[in-house]
Structure 1
């Protein structure tokens, strides 16, 4: 039953953002709100559960990428930089703004994850440098630029109502950070 509720809540988030009510969700899954609150005592707990599952999914996907012998170091790096939970690939950045504004505890969890889960990517940076695929650089600055860029995109999304998705934003940002903006000669 919990999985059914989480799945329905994820669908509501994709459809309406975080503005759905527990009553709306109960109707969607065909149960009473009392039953729903028996599984999830609050919407905050439900959002925290969805976020926790999304983080676990990201960690599993990252492990899968890192263990794939068919991918080059650069392929692994590019894929890890644009990892997004399956249910949230097409969400807009404004959803993260809603999370920040209305669910500060859950935002804190995401913020900590964004700032601390860089071990595999740092490993790929060093691997790429050792293989001569990347020039030596300050990995801490790269991470700060990436996270800061993501925060800036989130900030701007509430002002401009951009239709760009989270996945598109991460892909473009990663490409700029990895390849730069200088046109290649010849």
Structure 2
């Protein structure tokens, strides 16, 4: 039942954003609110559980990519840059980041901390690639700033809606540009 509640909550987030009510959720599940509260003491706990599950999912995907000996450094970098949550389905509400910041600041801080840790893991991979000469030397401080700024802007509601893109579309495009650059492929 707990997983059913989580999945239904993600559907509500996609439809109403984080402003969905527990009544909305109970109606979607065709259960009483009491049944939901048997598994989650509050809506904040439910939102928190979703975010923890999503961050764990992303970490597992990234770890699998890093441990895949069949991938080159460039392929690992491209794959990591495209990682999006899959474990609990896709959260497609573009306003989620803004809504979390406004209505659930503690949970928003979890996402911010996770993103910072994720960037550190990514930069560690880059440094490893530079040290092993799999990648050319670059200024990692500049790369860190490019990625941090780009992710903030790519996930903005305005950019995604005006560009008619999904988050995975934006991540794929960013990955292509960062890994393959602007120059045409050599023949």
- Specify the TM-score bucket, using the shorter chain as the normaliser: 0.7 to 0.9
2:135 match: secondary structure? coil
Confirm whether residue 51 of structure 1 aligns to residue 51 of structure 2.
yes
Partner of 2:144: 143
Calculate the aligned-residue CA RMSD, in Å. Answer: 2.4
> Could you list the per-position Cα deviations for residues 51-97 of structure 1 after superposition, in whole angstroms to 9, with x for gaps in the alignment?
01100111111111111122111111111112111145462533322
| Aligned length in residues | 185
Partner of 1:111: 112
Would the aligned equivalents of 1:18 and 1:99 in 2 still touch at CA under 8 Å?
yes
Would the aligned equivalents of 2:65 and 2:76 in 1 still touch at CA under 8 Å?
yes
- Normalised to the residue count of structure 2, the TM-score between the two structures is 0.84
Structure 1 unaligned regions, length at least 5: none
1:20-169 correspondence to structure 2 within 5 Å = 20-86=20-86, 87=88, 89=90, 91-155=92-156, 157-158=157-158, 161-162=161-162, 163-169=164-170
> Could you list the per-position Cα deviations for residues 19-65 of structure 1 after superposition, in whole angstroms to 9, with x for gaps in the alignment?
32211111222211122123222222111110011001111111111
Deviation at 1:130, TM superposition (A): 4.0
Distance 2:117 2:64 in 1: 19
Deviation at 1:5, TM superposition (A): 0.7
